[in-house]
Structures are given as C-alpha cells and as structure tokens.
Amino acid sequence: MPPVRPPLQGLAVPSGRLARLAKFGGLASGIAGTMLADGARQLSQGKRPTVGDLLMTPANAIRVTEQLAQLRGAAMKVGQLLSMDAGEMLPPELADILARLRSDARHMPEVQLRAALNRRWGRGWEDRFETFDFTPMAAASIGQVHRGRTIDGRDLAIKVQYPGVRDSIDSDVDNIATLMRVSGVVPKTLDVTAILSEAKRQLHEEADYDREGRYLARFGALLADAPDFRVPALHADLTRPTVLAMSHVAGVPIETLAEASQEERDRVVTLLVQLLLRELFEFGLMQTDPNFANYLYDPVTRQIVLLDFGAARDLPPAIVEGYRRLLRAGITADREAARRAALDIGFFAADADAERQDQAMALFDLAMEPLRRPGPFDFSETGLTTPLREQGMALAQDRSFWHVPPIDTLFLQRKFGGVYLLASRLRARVDVRAMLEAYI
C-alpha cells in the first residue's frame, strides 16, 4: 500500500511589491550561485558546460518551483505553462519537478482567506452561509476554490483570488523576463516586447473575476443546446472582481477516463474536438487554456463539465478564416495555398528564408497527413508524434528561425495542442476529418 501523502499546509502569499521583489532577488542569486558551483565542478572534470546546461539542472528547477509556488500569480502561471507546453522537450526529471506547480499549488492560510473575503463581502459574510469549507477543493496560480452552502440552499463553488495578485502582474512578468534574458534562455535578437505586453493583458483579464463570470454565462448560453456538456451557473450576487461564485458541479478529473472503455474514450474526445471546432468556426469565442484541470467528467450523467473561463477570448474573423483556409489546403495537400495561409496567420515571418519556410511546411504536411485519409485517427499512434516532436525540436533549436506569432495564433495553437495531448492521453480513435469537412 503506498504511503499516504500529508496534506499541504497553507502558505501565505507575499502581496506587497517589495516582498515579491525580494523573492525574485533571492531566486536570481540562488540560481547564479548554483550555476557557478556546478560550472566550477564540471570545469575541474575537464567538461565545457553551456549556460543552458548549468541553468536547467534539477537543483535550479527545485529552487524555481518552490519560489514560484509561494509567489503564485503571474510568476507561478509562467512556471505552469512551461511545465505543460515544454514538458515533452525537457529532461524527464525536470519535467516532473516543474509539474509540481500544477499538482501542488499551496493554498493561503485561513487568516489570509478570511481577510480577503472580509474585503470583498464585508464583515459578517458568514451569516449568509449555512456551511463554508475553509479547506479549498483546489488551489491554482491565481486563486483557490472553496465549497459553501448558502442559507437559501445554494451549493456553490467559490473562487477566491490571492491577495496582491492583480497588482503584481506587471512587475512579475517584467521580473521573469529579466531572469530569462540574463540567463540566455531567450536570444537577444528575439523581440518579445509584444508577447510580454500581451501576457500582462491576458493575466489582468484572468484576474478579473467579473469578466470571467460574463464569459461563464456566455458559454452556458452557447452550450444550452449541447446536453453532453455542463457549464456551472454564475451567481452574480456573490461575484466580485476577486471572488467568483458559481454552482458546484460534481465530477472526476477527465484523465481518469484513461481506464474507461474504448467506446467512452472515443465519445468524449469526439465531443471535445467538436467543441473546439464550434468555438473556432461557430462561436468565434474560445476558452484558450488547455489545462486538463479545466475539464471534469460526470460518470453518472456522462457529461463533460467545463470549468475556468478566465482565458476565454473572442476571435477576430480574419484569424478564423485564415485557419479555415489553412486546414482546407492541408487536407487537399495544396502546399502553396497552405504556405500563404500560414504566412497570413503568422506561423513564420514574411522575411524567413525559403529553406526555413519549406521546413515548417514539411512539418505541417506531416501533421496533416493522417487527416487526408478517411476514417478514425488513432491518437495513441506513436508513429506520428515521435517524428513530429523530433522535427519540431530540430526546427526550434535554430534560433535564427525563432519568431513570435500574433497572440491570437499563439493562444489557438496552445489550445489545439492541449486537446491533442488529452486525446493522446486517452488513446482515443476519432474521425477528425469528417468533423473538419463540415466546416472547411
């Protein structure tokens, strides 16, 4: 029998700018010290380590993970995205360490939670509740979720934002960018100004729970005709800019379906791909966060429960039409039409040399090849994912080709990748081509 893991204790969130800056300063100096020590040791052994080798060590990964977990907010969000988006490219031990940022988020202690609710709901808010569980059901980068039952009988899930998160977003992103530049992880020739600005905007939007509540209600209305999905109902009377109240919906993590029947796995992934296409081509509105925790599965009703709409964004019609043209060209193997569509979408820069463009389009052809065949695609096949990863990593290592795409494209690609990763995890077999043909 495996040992029982003790529950994580509450950990106060540093809310002041000086307190957070001190954490970043300590993180930078700690990493630098570790790099110097490791570098000296390897040089004494006759090795010539690179800056990247010294930076990405288990000791530094642990240091980064622990500090970002305490900071929460934008700092922790970046670490979570790195662990999810780059996990396949990192050594397994580093990916495992960074994955703690997704599974081991530390909640704030009760005294800090009570103070946060007092500020938003006013003192005496407890009188409105029959029960309120001060131990969170979940804790993430920006807030934590509690269950409560009101005096009038409503069973609620209440997301409470960590104090100071909204005010620290800009400085956190700037501090992380400085660490990346100093470490050499990002080449000096790559202009990340636009993406950092967009990252700040996106994080400010995710930290606005009034905004998330509006998107929660919009998705609920858009999916009212879809009985296979369930969206929690918004409770506006208890929602504030840093507190989001919604109906509590039961379910299990969607990854647990990995042990379900092939038929059920295929059905669930088919529904998720259909939803992705509806978001892109019908709604012009997409929830762009691919985190698996945003999906639950209700084994009683067999419904997919959708959570967390902080990263929802409206899609410009030009982007939607660009993807329609790209997918149409991909399925018909029209390389030149696909290249023009990819250029319009911003997959690569207009001044990228022909050889690099050809490499990128060859990668796109490889990804589209299974969709040119009729019938279900088996997401468990490794014959495609392995060469895709190898060729993609080879292209990514050529820093002369690095390019920051338009932010809408970036977020869409993250969502596509997240759905693909979940489909692979569930080993589903889905007729993606048939669903695509309805739209392109």
Q: How high is the pLDDT of residue 11? A: 52
Helix axes 17-44, 165-183, angle to 10 degrees: 20
Q: How high is the pLDDT of residue 240? A: 96
Structure tokens that stand for 170 in this block: 């800009």
Structure tokens that stand for 229 in this block: 């999905």
DSSP 134: S
Q: How high is the pLDDT of residue 412? A: 84
**Stretch 29-48: mean pLDDT:** 46
Q: Which of 28-37, 134-143, 316-325 has the lowest mean pLDDT?
A: 28-37
CA atoms within 13 Å, Cβ hemisphere of 147: 7
**N-terminal to C-terminal alpha carbon distance within the chain:** 52
Confidence category of residue 31, pLDDT binned at 50, 70, 90: very low
Q: How far, rounded to the nearest angstrom, does the alpha carbon of residue 406 sit from its chain's CA centroid?
A: 17
Q: Is 160 left (phi over 0), alpha (psi -120 to 50) or beta?
A: beta
3-state secondary structure 233-276: CECHHHCECCEEEEECCCCEEHHHHHHCCHHHHHHHHHHHHHHH
Q: How high is the pLDDT of residue 216? A: 97
Residue 276 CB contacts under 8 Å (≥ 6 apart), including other chains: 286, 415, 416, 419
Structure tokens that stand for 425 in this block: 């995890």
- What does the DSSP assignment read for 342-398? HHHHTSS-TT--HHHHHHHHHHHHHHHGGGGSSS-EETT-HHHHHHHHHHHHHHHT-
In tens, the pLDDT along 193-227 reads 666 777 788 788 888 999 999 999 999 999 999 99
Kindly tell me if the per-residue pLDDT of 93 is higher than 70.
no
Q: How high is the pLDDT of residue 404? A: 57
**Stretch 377-383: mean pLDDT:** 79
In tens, the pLDDT along 328-338 reads 988 988 888 98
d(CA 410, CA 319): 11
Pick the residue with more confidence: 218 or 71?
218
Active site amino acids: 289
| Locus of tokens 């997409």 | 286
pTM score of the predicted model = 0.76
CA atoms within 13 Å, Cβ hemisphere of 354: 1
Q: Which of 19-28, 101-110, 116-125 has the lowest mean pLDDT?
A: 19-28
Q: How high is the pLDDT of residue 215? A: 97
Kindly tell me if the per-residue pLDDT of 127 is higher than 70.
yes
In tens, the pLDDT along 396-422 reads 455 444 455 677 777 887 788 888 889
